[in-house]
Amino acid sequence: VSFPWQKREISNFDYLMYLNTLAGRSYNDYMQYPVFPWVLADYHSKTLNLTNPRTFRDLSKPMGAQTIERKRKFIQRYNEVEKNLSAQCHYCTHYSSAIIVASYLVRLEPFTQTFCSLQGGSFDVADRMFHSVKSTWESASRDNMSDVRELIPEFFYLPEFLTNANHFELGCMQDGTVLGDVQLPPWADGDPHKFILLHRQALESDYVSAHLHHWIDLIFGHKQHGSAAVEAVNTYHPYFYGDKMDLNIKDPLIKSTILGFISNFGQIPKQV
């Protein structure tokens, strides 16, 4: 079987937007914002080689399973069911949430205000702010057990979100770096337009076209929940499965806590 995007009848970008819309994701809802995949794993080379499979992220695995060591830790967590968890799952954080969306877009209004209001009125600690594409990839794919975030569509068409054109005072990191424009990989030559151009070329590349259906299965398809999700190391806290939650809960406090959790920490898209 060859899919429409593999036959170039529709771009990978358009197909992903179509799936997001079908699954109830929308630009109008920070809590159900369109979700896009990390497609690259190379944020260190001087030039980007889109013919080398090692340039790309493994689209058949969720962000929590991109390295063998990390995958092993999340499987261990699932098997142990940590005492502070109320349910068996691999991940207690989500790949898309209001705060993730606002943190990516924090240099643009109205997202700046949204981010600050979600943070209690101010910017976050500088070291936790989105400041580098490479370090964000390393955090989400390898280093940080509470970070499994994916991307948003703007990474493939909007260079403006990578520059601090409004000169917001975003703070200073512990190593003395003053936050300003987002740090780009060497292959982008410090140019946000070049980053977007190459990143979009990567999304539309033959490699991604050939493997994109694996990621779609994880996010929108049959590996989203149930035994297939367990096997794929792709299960999230039950509260993230909003449409599968039984919200006929008598206790209003428990119900409002669950709804608050869902709205703040993310939702699994509707299965398509």
Identify whether 32 is part of a domain.
yes
* pLDDT for residue 9: 81
Identify whether 49 is part of a domain.
yes
Name the residue range of residue 102's domain. Answer: 3-265
Identify whether 104 is part of a domain.
yes
Whole-angstrom Cα distance, residue 103 to residue 226? 31
C-alpha dist (Å) from residue 52 to 67, 165, 186, 198:
19, 35, 17, 14
* pLDDT for residue 88: 86
156 class by beta-carbon count within 10 Å (0-12 exposed, 13-18 middle, 19+ buried): buried
Identify whether 74 is part of a domain.
yes
Whole-angstrom Cα distance, residue 112 to residue 101? 11
Phi first, then psi, for residue 183 (nearest 5°) are: -75, 130
Identify whether 221 is part of a domain.
yes
Phi first, then psi, for residue 115 (nearest 5°) are: -60, -50
Token reading at 266: 């993310």
Identify whether 272 is part of a domain.
no
Whole-angstrom Cα distance, residue 176 to residue 171? 10
The backbone region for 144, taken as left when phi is positive above 0, alpha when psi lies in -120 to 50, beta otherwise, is: beta
Domain count, the chain: 1
Q: What is the pTM for the complete model shown? A: 0.91
Identify whether 10 is part of a domain.
yes
**CATH number of the CATH domain containing 15:** 1.10.1540.10
Question: pLDDT truncated to tens, each residue of the chain (272 aa)?
Answer: 566 666 778 999 999 999 999 999 999 999 999 999 999 999 999 999 999 999 999 999 999 999 999 999 999 999 987 555 567 899 989 999 999 999 999 999 999 999 999 888 888 888 889 999 999 999 999 999 999 999 999 999 999 999 999 999 999 999 998 999 999 999 999 999 999 999 999 999 999 999 999 999 999 999 999 999 999 999 998 888 876 656 667 777 777 777 776 666 788 998 88
* pLDDT for residue 124: 84
Identify whether 270 is part of a domain.
no
